[in-house]
Amino acid sequence: SQQGEEDPQALSIQEGENATMNCSYKTSINNLQWYRQNSGRGLVHLILIRSNEREKHSGRLRVTLDTSKKSSSLLITASRAADTASYFCATGFQKLVFGTGTRLLVSP
């Protein structure tokens, strides 16, 4: 059961630009997490936002959550080539469900 769907599937930008990716989910949640995956490697947790939060920041990351629309967005400001990766949203507790991801390419 696929809970999160990311949009766009792929995104290509230049260094210094901002990258925005979106996640939609189907059922009510207690929190939503974002993860990054470098090619073929394990996922790395980026940020968690609780259902009673609307926005959260961590360094160059900004996450928003709109529970009425069942959607979240991840903004990466001033992108760097090292941000090139796939980004996934995930919801749930014990049964964590991931979306299909957004592939971000940041060109120098």
Partner 1 sequence: EAQVTQNPRYLITVTGKKLTVTCSQNMNHEYMSWYRQDPGLGLRQIYYSMNVEVTDKGDVPEGYKVSRKEKRNFPLILESPSPNQTSLYFCASSTIRDRNYEQYFGPGTRLTVT
List the one residue from 68, 82, 94, 108 that touches partner 1 (CB under 8 A): 94
Q: How far is CA 101 from CA 18, 22, 52, 90, 108, in A?
A: 18, 10, 24, 10, 22
Q: In the complex, what is the shortest distance from the CB of residue 40 to partner 1, in angstroms, rounded to a whole number?
A: 7
Q: Which stretch binds partner 1 (CB under 8 A): 10-18, 19-27, 60-68, 86-94?
A: 86-94
* By the rule CB under 8 A, 40 interacts with partner 1: yes
Beta bridge partners of 105: 12
Could you check whether the bond before residue 108 is cis, i.e. omega within 30 degrees of 0?
no
* By the rule CB under 8 A, 101 interacts with partner 1: yes
Q: Which stretch binds partner 1 (CB under 8 A): 11-19, 52-60, 63-71, 89-97?
A: 89-97
Residue whose C-alpha is closest to residue 24's, from 61, 73, 57: 73
